Amino acid sequence: MFKRPPVLPLLAAVCLIGAVSQTSYAETDMTLSNKDKAIALLKSIETGDKSAIGYVNADNYIQHNLTAGDGLAGFAELLQALPAGSAKVNTVRALEDGEFVVTHSEYEFFGPKVGFDVYRFEDGLIVEHWDNLIETAAPNPSGRTQTDGPTEIVDLDKTDTNKALVESFVTTILVNGDMDKVANYIDGDNYLQHNPAVADGLSGLGAALKAMAEQGITMVYDRLHKVLGEGNFVLTISEGTFGGQPTSYYDLFRVDEGKIVEHWDVIETIIPEEQRKNANGKFGNLSP
């Protein structure tokens, strides 16, 4: 008979926080940046740090991971299903854009995974969460992993310009399919790729698309929902289909001197409505 694993230490805080004021967590450092709070919350899944749950608004937490129930109760239920001591989290990159924080992390979470998490803050507390997760894969044909590469955020003064460039790229090339204009955004083979199935450069992308076409696999971007960025890093969240299945695309781009020079992504199939644990939608509240 299946026996539910022991409740993780963090669950005690999740349950308790509904009964007491968050300000009673004296050890919770609310002077941290929103970026540091998001990283601390993710790490607490591994460590069981009870103070980190104080960074979540106990009365207003909207969940868009469709496999988790809404609110802190849904978060607790998801954690309870993990075998005790199995979770690991290593956040490789993090960027902050207004009320949003984006993290790019490696997980041991029901198996090895890579993912992006997006958190929305109000008054210093997390009130909403979106994510995309995929199983960890072997290095791609160019030997790059799903998370390696530069992490330093630079060119803060170019944030808006870089966001506009990437938004135009996704809309023009990926959504509208105007491939003749790709050189306006990417500098030929000076383009580093971290998708597990694609090699570096436009030549690598072309070879991958050709191989997919030969197998009858289509990759379609229908709509760009959100663009978030800080300095030289920009994340886009898009909706479409992959192989005919409803799909969520999270693409992270690094921009240098007005060109896209590096790309990471997580492509996740959207589960059907009958399997969902909440009704908030994969992209709910993201689009204007």
CATH architecture of 156-269: Roll (3.10)
pLDDT in tens, 240-262: 999 999 999 999 999 999 999 99
pLDDT in tens, 55-93: 999 999 999 999 999 998 998 888 888 887 889 999 999
Q: How big, in percent rounded to 5, are the helix, strand and coil portions of the chain?
A: 30, 30, 40
How many Cβ atoms from other residues are within 10 Å of residue 260's Cβ?
A: 23
Question: Contact, 101 vs 94, CB < 8 A?
Answer: yes
Q: How far apart are CA 78 and CA 67, in angstroms?
A: 8
Name the segment(s) of the chain with CATH classification 3.10.450.50: 9-136, 156-269
Q: What backbone phi and psi angles, to 5 degrees, belong to 286? A: -85, -40
* Sign of torsion over alpha carbons 18, 20, 26, 32: positive
Q: Is the pLDDT of residue 14 over 80?
A: no
Spell out where the chain has E strands: 62-63, 88-97, 100-108, 112-122, 125-135, 192-193, 219-230, 233-242, 245-256, 259-269
Q: Determine the straight-line distance between the first and last CA of the chain, rounded to whole angstroms.
A: 48
Domain spanning 9-136, CATH class: alpha beta
**Amino acid sitting at position 8:** L
The helix or strand, by DSSP H or E, that contains position 217, with its residue range, turns out to be none
User: Can you give the pLDDT at residue 175?
Assistant: 96
Distances (CA, A) of 272 to 114, 172, 241, 247, 277: 22, 29, 13, 11, 11
Rg, C-alpha atoms of the chain: 19
Query: Residue 21: pLDDT above 70?
Result: no
* Model-wide pTM > 0.85: yes
pLDDT at residue 108 in the model:
94
pLDDT > 60? residue 100: yes
